[in-house]
Amino acid sequence: MATIDSSRFLKVLSGKRQSPVPVWMMRQAGRHLPEYLNLRSRAKDFLDFCYSPSMAAEATLQPIRRYDMDAAILFADILLVLDALGLNVRFEKGVGPIVQTVETGSELGTTPVEKAVQRLSPVYETVSRVRASLASGKALIGFCGAPWTVALYAIEGRGGTDKSSARIWAYQKPEALDQLLSDLVEVSAHYLAEQVSAGADALMLFESWAEGLPADVFDHIVTKPNAALINRLRELGVTVPVIGFPRGAGTVLPDYVSNVPVSAVALDTAIAPSFVKSALPVDLPVQGHLDPLLLIAGGQAMEDRVRFLLDAYSDRPHIFNLGHGVRPETPIPHVERVVEILREGH
Ligand code: CP3
């Protein structure tokens, strides 16, 4: 277990500013690392990889060894929950995930929560293996997809779309949508609770597709289910900090943080630091938010932006991260340079 005394990442989540600022990066494990590609080539397919505790634990640890990040994120995927709930999930090379679609919204409820949570037990085994090999100063982050983002894959069957068909579906079948969201809240809360029992030190909710929603719809399908999920987790006795990532929230971000009991908020690439300064409480820890494309570009522009972000959040608890995940084409020396700048301290 990482403890607040040993982990600067957990200190920030508890509201204490740290210098140097702790760092990790979303999708820090994965295809930009040759050691990941090598490991991955030994798995039958991506799901098999995620359900293999030895491979998933190794993938989780690779970025910690290479970059000395302050936190490891469990190697898994937000779509495992749908697989565990009985939908057919495949990951196709060059295409991404393909998910069996739902029609009535009652499909997820046909698998008992205990059964789905049990099917995900290889993930808990990964968590405990990783925790056992991590130094106490390094935190381990467990995660799941937030209900709307996961529901969207079950409605549309794939990612990479403009999400319009899922939104039309949601407008046409409001009761079906509510059923999907509440089933996902329940199973995800238990799934996260098991990750914590296995050794996760903090949790993150990935609401990756929250952008472009009318404010009242955002409240209904993002804010309320995120809040319900955290409240359910607390009812289950889980006390670790939870980071919310409502990607694309834009001007409703202040409503999200005041209505969802998150310990910290992950900022996306687009949000302006000046907006964060004026609209979010100064004691709320923030995580973020270098543009992943600037991390690919590198050079002086990248270095200037890293320093700019450090300055922008120097008055509040801050964890350095990207505004979205590391892309496969990211040069390793650029990641190393960012970590080096952060370690210089400010
Ligand atoms: O370092 C880490 O963050 C590793 C763990 C992780 C993965 N997926 C591994 C993965 C995490 C936290 C995720 C979350 C995830 N998965 C999200 C939310 C975060 C985000 O990026 O917005 C979403 C939307 C997904 C769904 C998903 N999984 C997509 C759309 C894809 C295909 C696109 C892509 O990036 O390849 C995946 C596959 C996936 N998940 C890969 C990895 C490393 C690539 C699979 C491979 O190795 O071929």
Q: Which atom of ligand 1 is nearest to the CA of 63?
A: 1
Element (H, E) at 35: helix 34-40
Task: Name the closest-CA residue to atom 23, ligand 1.
Answer: 78
Low-confidence ranges of the chain (pLDDT < 70): 345-346
Q: Which atom of ligand 1 is nearest to the CA of 36?
A: 47
Q: How far is the CA of 70 from the centre of ligand 1 (A)?
A: 20
Q: How far is the CA of 163 from the centre of ligand 1 (A)?
A: 18
Task: Name the closest-CA residue to atom 46, ligand 1.
Answer: 46
Q: How far is the CA of 77 from the centre of ligand 1 (A)?
A: 6
Q: How far is the CA of 141 from the centre of ligand 1 (A)?
A: 15
Residue from 42, 44, 77, 127 whose mutation best tests the ligand 1 pocket (most atoms within 8 A of CB): 77
Q: Which atom of ligand 1 is nearest to the CA of 50?
A: 9
Q: Which CATH fold would you assign to the domain 8-343?
A: TIM Barrel (3.20.20)
Task: Give pLDDT, residue 61.
Answer: 98
Task: Give pLDDT, residue 346.
Answer: 54
d(CA 55, CA 16): 35
Q: How far is the CA of 105 from the centre of ligand 1 (A)?
A: 24
Q: Which residues have a catalytic role annotated?
A: 27, 31, 40, 77, 153
Q: E-strand spans in the chain?
A: 71-73, 89-92, 96-99, 139-145, 202-207, 242-246, 264-266, 286-290, 318-322
Residue from 27, 49, 83, 329 whose mutation best tests the ligand 1 pocket (most atoms within 8 A of CB): 27
Q: Which atom of ligand 1 is nearest to the CA of 325?
A: 21
- Which own/partner contact pairs does 46-49 have at CB distance under 8 Å and 24+ positions apart? 46/77, 46/91, 47/80, 47/83, 47/89, 47/90, 47/91
Task: Name the closest-CA residue to atom 8, ligand 1.
Answer: 77
Domain ranges for the chain, please list them. 8-343
Q: Which atom of ligand 1 is nearest to the CA of 91?
A: 38
Is the CB of residue 179 less than 8 Å from the CB of residue 261? no
- pTM exceeds cut of 0.95: yes
Ligand 1, pocket residues at CB < 6 Å: 26-31, 40, 46, 73, 75-79, 91, 96-97, 143, 159, 206, 208, 325
CB atoms near residue 290 (< 10 Å): 21
Candidates 86, 111, 88; CA nearest to 98 is 88
Q: How far is the CA of 345 from the centre of ligand 1 (A)?
A: 31
